[in-house]
Amino acid sequence: MTEPLAEAPGATMSRALALHRAGDLAAAEPLYRAVLAAQPRHFGALHLLGLLRAMAGDPAGAVPLLRAAIAADPSHGFVHSNLGNALVELEHAEEALESFNRALTLSPDLLEARVGRGNALQALDRHAEALAELEGAAAHGADMPELHNNRGNALRALMRPAEALAAYDAALLRNPLYAAAHGNRATALVDLDRDVEALASVAIALTLRPGDPGYLNTQGVALRALHRPEEALASFDRALAGDPGLVNAHAGRAAALSDLNRHEEALASADAALSLSASAAAHRNRAAALTLLGRHSEAEAADGAALRADPACAEAWNGRGNALTELGRFEEALDCFDRAEALYPGSRSIPYNRGNALRGLNRHREAIACFQEAQAIDPGFADAHWNEALSRLALGDLETGFAGYEWRWRRKGNRPHRHADHALWQGEAMEGRTLLLHAEQGLGDTIQMARYVPMAAARGARVVLQVQRPLLPLLHGLPGVAELIGPDDPIPPFAAQCPLLSLPHILGAVIPAPVALPVDPARVAAWDAALPRGALRLGIACSGNPQHLGDRHRSVPLGLFAPLLGAGVQGFLIQTELRASDEPVLAATPGLTSLRPHLTDFTETAAALLAMDAVVCVDTSVAHLAGTLDCPVHLLLPDLADWRWMLGRGDTPWYPGMRLYRRARGEPWEEVIARVASALAPQVALAA
């Protein structure tokens, strides 16, 4: 209950103001209210009580008091300015801007109003205008810590993080205990990839405000950038425990879960963020989670929603372009990257992504120019170097291509191989010393690169070859190999090591003939005797490892091979696994026999291949094995073929006996297989 005045209102106001200035808000407030009980339209009491409530962290309580003060006397610019500040706190930025405009009309030199107007513009995402207003206030003498902090916020929003960092430092120079400036400084340092410093800066902010959800979120961002995703996730969880409605923490949590390959959980967190805010950033975050799940159509739709929310969201244009690239809609993707670059020039990712779309169109020279543009922005951008190498290899530029292929170990998410801490062989003479050569990619890659092993042995090395366990029987007795071991076998001491796919670079970017594999002639004879005669024996491999990133492009439904199985042809399925969707086709296709029960290892597969008159296959390990064995191979290639098959060729220097059948963009596989059938027709006629 408000006590009645025992003195003149002026005396009570003087006492209240003294207490207010001394920081004793609890003692000042009842005095102001006592004056208002006696004189409800007392301008000074209304204004100062409103200011007090704002200082006490109660902007909702401040606004009606400040409005009442203005109704009592609208001629004071500083009251309109204080009302604007309270409205900004309440996220009523449009109304706040009107208040600051009125304040400056009444008091053009009121620096506080200029600063406040800049803050309102910043809240409205009118960052360039906000920066101009704040710098104008600074030019007229404003120098409070909040001014510099808010300048930093505007600069960071304008993607000028180095200048933002300087502004935050200026704020802290004026107030070293300014928690918000420490926290914001950390965000600028993250933008500048100075993540260790960012973590230290946000730690200071958390010391000043323990448990602050916003700072915990920033800490999570820094930890994630330092590749500490589990700690980052814990930090985001702590932030959400303090503020379940913190959208950025839900988004950060989604990113950390993605780092941990917990993609379904990541999508759930992204959906939680979106339920709180249908902003462009929330839709973009969901698109990122969908991308990692391989759900590119949904990702493209999510980025489309982001662009409807904010047509100027460069990240969404860029993300949508990536989704369209994955969907094979390359021209549309290029348009998206152009839109993104117009909004965000200087980003390394946009020319890089444009290069990927151009690669999809087999416009490799243009793609190389894009990858080089990305490297000019960031010389250490490993993925750009890597993709340039792939395009150069596709163009047949083996020397430059294989040199650039070495960037693979520095790519994001590509961990160094387990022998990386040992000396890398550079091609020098070994003089009887032991050289460890080791597999690093797929089974087909190992078979293809086995041709380089004798060349390494010719440099005087005692070669220990470490390969995937399924290949051990096949490569037993390989020329030049002193010892063959599996991935988990004990490794003898060695002087140097080299991954198999580094050998072409080290040995001069030449392509030697495939190495002769020691296949048991008795096994070949057994297969030849077991298979029926009187028809062309046609080996078929229609699909590869479903986990392969490009499998959806290279594998072909088994049913499409039916035109090859006419009169005079006996087909044999030469692969150990088959898609569930192809099983009914196999069962219902006359003239096609599955050899899966008999392909117990790669030596049996090799012997079966040597018993065939011809082999038709997609780009899998079977292709490399058949090519190495010099079988007559007809290889089906997608429109964007792997680098090793180069461009536009019907043959390949890797396997002289192999013929390539390239699918044109948009061409049905049926037409490609029809060309194979035409090529096989004379051989079928001879076998009949």
Both 453 and 573 in one domain: the answer is no
Can you give the pLDDT at residue 533?
Answer: 85
| d(C-alpha 584, C-alpha 571), whole Å | 16
Does one domain contain both 536 and 494?
Answer: no
Residues 588 and 449 in one domain: no
Q: Residue 548: its pLDDT value, please?
A: 59
CB 43 within 8 A of CB 72: yes
Note whether residue 345 is domain-resident: no
Is 95 domain-assigned?
no
pLDDT value at residue 688: 64
Task: Return the closest-CA partner of residue 155 out of 142, 144, 173, 171.
Answer: 171
Q: Are residues 621 and 549 in the same domain?
A: yes
* Within-domain flag for 144: no
Q: Residues 643, 534: one domain? A: yes
Task: Note down the domain range covering 597.
Answer: 521-687
Closest CA to 42 of 64, 68, 11: 68
Residue 534 belongs to a domain with what CATH number?
3.40.50.2000
Q: Is position 391 within any domain?
A: no
| Parallel, antiparallel or unpaired: strands 481-485 and 496-499 | unpaired
Flag whether 395 is in a domain. Answer: no
pTM of this structure: 0.77
Please check whether residues 570 and 657 belong to one and the same domain: yes
Q: Which of 482, 506, 530 corresponds to the end of one domain?
A: 506
- CA–CA distance, 250 with 244 (Å, rounded to integer): 9
Are residues 347 and 336 in contact, defined by beta-carbon separation less than 8 angstroms?
no
- Asked if 571 and 655 sit in the same domain, the reply is yes
Distance CA 279, CA 629 (A): 58
Pairing, β 462-466 against β 481-485: parallel
pLDDT at 2: 57
**Nearest 5 degrees, angle CA 650-CA 656-CA 661?**
25
* One domain, residues 673 and 545: yes
Structure tokens at 94: 């449009």
CA distances from 396 to 139, 307, 369, 620 (A): 60, 40, 17, 21
Q: Is residue 556 part of a domain?
A: yes
Measured CA to CA, the distance from residue 35 to residue 458 in angstroms comes to: 101
In degrees, rounded to 5, the angle at the alpha carbon of residue 390 between the alpha carbons of residues 386 and 396 is: 140
Which residue has 């002639």 as its token pair?
A: 521
Q: Could you tell me if 491 and 593 lie in one domain?
A: no
Q: Can you list the residues of the chain whose pLDDT is less than 70?
A: 1-6, 413, 545-552, 688
Task: Please say which residue of 480, 506, 532 terminates a domain.
Answer: 506
Residue 224 belongs to some domain of the structure: no
In this predicted model, what pLDDT tens digit does every residue of 630-659 receive, in sequence order? 999 999 999 989 999 999 899 999 999 999
Domain count, the chain: 2
- Best CA proximity match to 606, nearest among 479, 673, 543, 515: 515
User: For 646-685, what is the HEC assignment?
Assistant: CCCCCCCCCCCCEEEEECCCCCCHHHHHHHHHHHHHHHHH
Sheet with 633-637, strands from edge to edge, namely 592-594, 569-573, 536-541, 614-618, 633-637, 658-662
Note whether residue 192 is domain-resident.
no
Work out the number of other CB atoms within 10 angstroms of the CB of residue 325: 24
Among 506, 532, 565, which residue terminates a domain?
Answer: 506
SS3 592: strand
Do 586 and 637 belong to one domain? yes
For residues 532 and 477, membership in a common domain is answered with: no
Are residues 546 and 657 located together in one domain of the fold? Answer: yes
